[in-house]
Amino acid sequence: MGFKKLLTKKMEFSASHRYWNPGWSEEKNVSVFGKSAGPYGHGHNYSLEVTVEGEVDVETGMIINLYKLKSVMSDVLGDFDHKHLNDDNPYFKDLVPTTENIARILWELLEERLGDNPKCSLYRVRLYETHDMYVDYWRK
Amino acid sequence: MSLTKTYRFSAGHRLYIRGLSEEENFKIFDTCSNPNGHGHDYYVQVKVSGEINPETGMIINLQELDNTVNIVINELDHKRLDIEVPYFEENQPTGENIAKYMWERIKPDLGEKFIHLKLSETSNSYFEYYEEGNYPYEH
């Protein structure tokens, strides 16, 4: 029987956002998104947990070098940390920056940078918006 | 994709079987059978899964999720479960039964999306309730 090997690294970032669907009236936006539709946005301290799955390299004893994972995560979060996601980030021009959508975009950016490696692949992205709410994104 | 939100309530309970002596109850339930009850801060994690709605960017509207779950939270919060909540007059107010009760109260409103419930009684013990074969961490 085989064993699954996972490694998770956490990183925090702070960003502001506004929930707004430009195709809707102001009334509809407020009725669906409530306070999150405020015109100037609001912010959160997000916590990102990136989990990779893979084989433990015999020589290094690692699934992935943590310095590499850290630099990949920092690089990806450059467009997110201390930014207004609707205004400063290229991915939310036409996409509501919900926790669900942020997690999905982060998955795509991380997977692209981690490359195609059969011995170490992205397993799960867990994104906490607040300490009591998180989203998981993974490949089925 | 899934979304998990944590809720909290505080409640008292006593584990005991009617008709048994205090000594016999103590043998089964230990200090949990203390005649005057005791309490916990319970943390409940409600997990929903589904596709992102393209218009809202959400799996589920958090306000609607809160409204649904808080109805059940309010039934339990600051209550002595085995005295003030009818379900627990008939069922032991153990973590297992509280998790089952919450699942059954929430499930009709959330439907298919609701896949997993985790109830933490203390920082050392928690209970999970979900449909067999649908454990969200094996995919």
Residue A42's beta-bridge partner residues?
Answer: A17
Q: What is the mean pLDDT of residues A104-129?
A: 95
Contact in structure between A95 and A101 (CB atoms under 8 Å): yes
| The predicted structure's pLDDT at residue B139 | 43
ipTM associated with this complex: 0.85
A97 to chain B: which residues are within 8 Å by CB? 57
Q: Do A137 and B3 touch (CB under 8 A)?
A: no
| The predicted structure's pLDDT at residue B138 | 52
Among A4-8, A98-102, A108-112, the range scoring the smallest mean pLDDT is A4-8
pLDDT digits (tens, 9 = 90+) for A29-50: 999 999 999 999 999 999 999 9
Contact in structure between B32 and B14 (CB atoms under 8 Å): yes
| The predicted structure's pLDDT at residue A1 | 63
Instruction: Evaluate the CA torsion angle A4, A10, A15, A18 in order and state its sign.
Output: positive
Chain B interface mutation, best of A136, A138, A139, A140, highest count of B Cβ atoms under 10 Å? A136
| The predicted structure's pLDDT at residue A139 | 86
Q: Do A133 and B63 touch (CB under 8 A)?
A: no
Q: Do A135 and B1 touch (CB under 8 A)?
A: yes
Model confidence at A13: pLDDT above 70: yes
The domains of chain B are located at 2-129
Prediction pTM value: 0.89
User: What is B2-129's CATH number?
Assistant: 3.30.479.10
CA distances from B76 to A58, B36, B47, B73 (A): 52, 18, 19, 5
| The predicted structure's pLDDT at residue A3 | 86
Fold for A6-138, please state it.
Tetrahydropterin Synthase; Chain A (3.30.479)
Instruction: Evaluate the CA torsion angle A100, B114, B101, B94 in order and state its sign.
Output: negative
Question: For every one of its 139 residues, what pLDDT tens digit does chain B have, with 9 covering 90 and above?
Answer: 999 999 999 999 999 998 999 999 999 999 999 999 999 999 999 999 999 999 999 999 999 999 999 999 999 999 999 999 999 999 999 999 999 999 999 999 999 999 999 999 999 999 999 998 888 765 4
Residues 78-137, chain B: which have Cβ within 8 Å of A? Answer: 136
Model confidence at A136: pLDDT above 50: yes
pLDDT: is B137 or A56 the higher one? A56
| The predicted structure's pLDDT at residue B103 | 97
Q: Do B4 and A98 touch (CB under 8 A)?
A: no
The domains of chain A are located at 6-138
Q: Which token pair is A18?
A: 């506004």
In our burial notation (b when 16+ CB lie closer than 10 A, e otherwise), range A14-27 reads: ebbbbbbbeebeee
Compare CB distances from B55 to A21, A97, A99 and report the shortest one's residue: A21
